[in-house]
Amino acid sequence: MFPEVFTDIYSDYTIRNITLGATVLGLVSGSLGTFAVLRRQSLLGDSISHAVLPGIILAFMLTGSRDPLILILGAAIVGWLATLSIMAIVNTTRIKQDASLALVLSVFFGFGMVLMTFVQRQPDAAAAGLSRFLFGQAAAIIWDDVRTMLIIGSLALAILFVFWKEFKLVVFDRAFALSLGMPVQRFDVLLTSLLVIAIVIGLQTVGVILMSAMVVTPAAAARQWSDRLGVVTILAGGFGALAGVSGALISAYTARMPTGPTIVICLTAIVLFSLILAPNRGLLWAWVRQHRQSRDIRSRVVLGDLYWLSQQHEGVDHGHSMAALEAMSAGRVAVDHGLEDLERAGLAQRIDGDHWTLTEKGRQLAVSDLNDEDQDQRDA
Amino acid sequence: MLSLTAGQMEVQIVAIVVAVACALVGVFLVLRQMAMMSDAITHSILPGIVVAFFLVQDLSSPFLIIAAAATGVLTVSLVELLNRTRLVREDAAIGIVFPALFSIGVILIARFAGGIHLDLDVVLLGEIAFVPFNRTTLFGVDLGPTALVMMTIILIINLLFITLFYKELKLATFDAGLAAALGFSPALIHYGLMSLVSVTAVGAFDAVGAILVVALIVGPPVTSYLLTDRLWVMLALSAGIGVLIAVSGYWMARGLDASIAGSMATMTGVIFMVAYLLAPGRGLIALAFRRRRQRWEFAGTMLAIHLLNHEGLPSAEQENRVDHLQEHLNWDSDFAERAVRHAERHQTVVRQNRHLYLTEKGRQRAREAIVR
């Protein structure tokens, strides 16, 4: 299948467009989404993507054109209005961000539906081209769409690149940026506008509902792999593009597999993989660390107990029964496993059957443990 | 035009019941700052509905509601699980979970529900006008449209939950720490509430579709939040606003021959705007008035203090003149003139030629301001 995929991307018009479109979209929304997630505006993307519906339809009603550029322009203007409304409500009332997002999302979308019924009444089935913005229809993407996405997307990324330092400062140290006399609010607005752009160019591929995943999920995945903004942004763009390509191809070669949802499932797989396996932050490593730590504590407890027992007897080689050790630890730790770990580390040895004693190395370690403990107590 | 057929009447009654049921649970979502959870739940219950539909093959089965409610609770748990790893923040967790579940739902429909009646548009956008065609009968008696029967039951459940656990809900909403200390389980109330939201959302699906459930859940509470500080008033007001939205939305849709659900959401926005502008004490207009009044009051106090400082001193001749205020208080001449006129109207200052003299009331006010 694989060689066939490559020739198809090269020669098959539809597959080439879909793949290219999904890649550009993933790249742009992934890298711009990083800032949204870091600014705790993850759900702003969801709100904007729903709210642009009336913009798309109004643009169509006013111009009668289905040129992607015009529809995108309409969407961007209304997306902007929606963002301003959200900010105005939060700033002038006691209504919180979440409620403000949900209200604007649903009211704008509802108004879009009202407009949609007007368009649908027209005889030429013009609405068919518009409803794909709702759920996304990657198969309908033509070269014109891809070109528009490419141009607008690279413009957005170029702006991000040019103002990189400023954006970084505004996101991470607002107070410092303000003290430098930077127009912080203007950069805020610029960042949000870039987000609006990323969202509107993705609408016809994945649709309004899934667009929020394109913004949030790559960034959340990328965040697990690095603490550096540059790396996270590039990774997020890469994850977005990867999910875009694989989702587009899977859906192209599988019958009845919608593109948008497939891309989102690929993204979800990437984020789950990252959450579990990313070095340092990953859940698996955290679990391994914790397990190792509790094993370490277990053997130290048994080591200490064994040392204490050996102090009570004359002969160094005197063996101590496991039962005695178990009584000492009083069920706090699994003594048998602890002893096995000690034996493996060469700290304790078994003397006939169930009796144990420390090796010389073990004795030294126990003494130094005790000294550390004393030191800690004195420090405290 | 104002005459209604029985079917139209039923549509309107269903709209009212849906709106009230949504508004009641919405109050707690908004107060607990979880409004976006309504958006997440309304989308993510899709796979639950689809799977249940595959099992029972009946779109109006109560089993669908149970499955969807379970998926809603699953969504909430998944968000909390992600949040608790501390690897992603809560808002990002919501943004990851619900599109994933929704995608699974869409793929399930696309792959396995090709020919059967489970249309994505209907699930998402709803069509309340079809409500009267699907009826419930019990022992041969027509009980009304299925949606009405279902939503009435859901409304009653919501009402019961809120009345029975009013105290607990109130405490857990406004002081979760105290609620936990007193032995109420915040988790139990949280999940109970989320189950209610899920059940309400599924019930409302039929009528208004997923996205507009959000308008009905969030719109009325947010609007009434601008109007009152008391929880029970907020609940009652929200229910009332819900009714208003349902009725006005229906008539707007009839007048324009447009989507009923869309019109209801639009009216939600209009009613919110009215409250936003006109709410007593908190609306934009009241705020603007208050700011203006405070500005002149402050200017009047400054003027009185300034006059009092120089009163009876040789410098008074120089200082206590309208044209001098410009220099001393850094007011431009227009502002100074208006401030003096405002003060004259409130009888704290009298003007003779260009000179200003405090009245007894003005002196009083200046002294009070200084002491404070």
**What residues of A are in contact with residue B211 (Cβ under 8 Å)?**
50, 105-106, 109-110
User: Which range is least confidently modeled, A286-290, B13-17, B142-146?
Assistant: B142-146
Q: Would you call A215 and B91 a contact, using CB atoms and an 8 Å cutoff?
A: no
**What residues of B are in contact with residue A121 (Cβ under 8 Å)?**
257
Q: Would you call B95 and A257 a contact, using CB atoms and an 8 Å cutoff?
A: no
B318 within domain boundaries: yes
Residue B215: which of A41, A106, A261 has the nearest Cβ? A106
pLDDT value, residue B129: 65
Residue A292 has pLDDT above 50, yes or no: yes
**Residue where a domain stops, chosen among B261, B281, B301:** B281
Smallest CA–CA distance, residue A210 to chain B, in Å, is: 5
Q: Would you call A217 and B38 a contact, using CB atoms and an 8 Å cutoff?
A: no
Residue B1 has pLDDT above 50, yes or no: no
Which chain A residue has its CA at the smallest distance from B269's CA? A107
Mean pLDDT of chain A: 84
- B63's tokens: 């089993």
B240 shares a domain with B116: yes
Which of A330-334, B74-78, B258-262 holds the top average pLDDT?
B74-78
Exposure pattern of A167-181 as b/e (b: 16+ CB <10 Å)?
A: bbbbbeeeeebeeee
- B196's tokens: 């209610």
What distance in Å separates the CA atoms of residue A249 and residue A252, rounded to the nearest whole number? 5
B342 shares a domain with B212: no
CATH number of the domain encompassing residue B113: 1.10.3470.10
Question: Which range marks the domain in which residue B306 is found?
Answer: 285-371
Smallest CA–CA distance, residue B1 to chain A, in Å, is: 20
B219 shares a domain with B177: yes
B61 within domain boundaries: yes
Residue A43: which of B36, B257, B269 has the nearest Cβ? B36
B358 shares a domain with B209: no
What distance in Å separates the CA atoms of residue A320 and residue A310, rounded to the nearest whole number? 8
Residue B211 has pLDDT above 50, yes or no: yes
A267 burial via Cβ count (<10 Å: 0-12, 13-18, 19+): buried
Smallest CA–CA distance, residue B202 to chain A, in Å, is: 17
| Cα Rg, chain A, nearest whole Å | 31
pLDDT value, residue A162: 93
Q: How many CA atoms lie within 13 A of A267 on its CB side?
A: 43
B308 shares a domain with B275: no
Residue B198 has pLDDT above 80, yes or no: yes
- B344's tokens: 């004259």
Q: What is the rounded (10 degree) CA torsion for A253, A256, A258, A264?
A: -70
B343 shares a domain with B200: no
B76 shares a domain with B171: yes
Choice between A78 and A185, residue whose per-residue pLDDT is larger: A78
B139 within domain boundaries: yes
User: Which range is least confidently modeled, A22-31, A76-85, B52-61?
Assistant: B52-61
CATH number of the domain encompassing residue B350: 1.10.10.10
The confidence band for B120, taking pLDDT boundaries of 50, 70 and 90, is: low
Q: Would you call A99 and B276 a contact, using CB atoms and an 8 Å cutoff?
A: no
> A282 in helix, strand or coil?
coil
- B281's tokens: 């004490």
Which chain A residue has its CA at the smallest distance from B260's CA? A114
| DSSP secondary structure code for residue B132 in this structure | G
Interface test with A, best of B85, B86, B214 (most A CBs within 10 A): B214
Q: Would you call A213 and B36 a contact, using CB atoms and an 8 Å cutoff?
A: no
Domains of chain A: 2-278 (1.10.3470.10), 285-372 (1.10.10.10)
Kind and range of the H or E element at A378? helix A360-379
B275 within domain boundaries: yes
- A333's tokens: 């730790």
Q: Using alpha carbons, select from B83, B140, B177 the residue that is nearest to residue A42.
A: B83
Smallest CA–CA distance, residue B313 to chain A, in Å, is: 44
Residue B114: which of A102, A215, A256 has the nearest Cβ? A256
A289 burial via Cβ count (<10 Å: 0-12, 13-18, 19+): exposed
Q: How many domains does chain B have?
A: 2
**Residue where a domain stops, chosen among B255, B281, B307:** B281
pLDDT value, residue A131: 65
Matching residue, tokens 């619900």: B98
**What residues of B are in contact with residue A37 (Cβ under 8 Å)?**
89, 92
B46 shares a domain with B179: yes
Residue A275: which of B85, B226, B269 has the nearest Cβ? B85
Residue B99: which of A50, A213, A281 has the nearest Cβ? A213
B296 shares a domain with B222: no
B291 shares a domain with B231: no
B147 shares a domain with B69: yes
Which of A25-39, A242-256, A316-330, A335-349 holds the top average pLDDT?
A25-39
Residue B73 has pLDDT above 70, yes or no: yes
Cα B78 to chain center, whole Å?
26
What distance in Å separates the CA atoms of residue B303 and residue A55, rounded to the nearest whole number? 51
B363 within domain boundaries: yes
Residue B219 has pLDDT above 80, yes or no: yes
- B40's tokens: 């997440």
* ipTM, two decimals: 0.85
What distance in Å separates the CA atoms of residue B336 and residue B330, rounded to the nearest whole number? 9
Q: Tens of pLDDT along A101-138?
A: 999 999 999 999 888 888 877 766 555 566 666 666 77
CB–CB of B205/B223 below 8 Å?
no
DSSP secondary structure, A88-152, as one string? HHHHHSS--HHHHHHHHHHHHHHHHHHHHHHHHTSTT-THHHHHHHHH--GGG--HHHHHHHHHH
Cβ-proximal residues to A345 (8 Å cutoff; 6+ apart), any chain? A299
B108 within domain boundaries: yes
Q: Would you call B225 and A98 a contact, using CB atoms and an 8 Å cutoff?
A: no
Q: Using alpha carbons, select from B366, B330, B361 the residue that is nearest to residue B344.
A: B361
Choice between B275 and A121, residue whose per-residue pLDDT is larger: B275
Q: Determine the Cα angle at A349 with ends A344 and A354, to 5°.
A: 110
Residue B138 has pLDDT above 70, yes or no: no
B1 within domain boundaries: no
B246 within domain boundaries: yes
pLDDT value, residue B137: 66
- A74's tokens: 């309409």
Instruction: Quote the percentage of chain B above a pLDDT of 70.
Output: 89
Choice between A69 and B241, residue whose per-residue pLDDT is larger: B241
What distance in Å separates the CA atoms of residue B121 and residue A116, rounded to the nearest whole number? 13
Q: Using alpha carbons, select from A269, A216, A250 the residue that is nearest to residue A19.
A: A250
| DSSP secondary structure code for residue B166 in this structure | H
Alpha helices in B57-185 (DSSP H): 62-84, 90-112, 120-125, 146-164, 166-174, 176-181
B350 φ, ψ (degrees, to nearest 5): -120, 150
**Residue where a domain stops, chosen among B256, B281, B306:** B281
Mean pLDDT score, A155-168: 92
B203 shares a domain with B136: yes
| DSSP secondary structure code for residue B357 in this structure | E
Mean pLDDT of chain B: 83
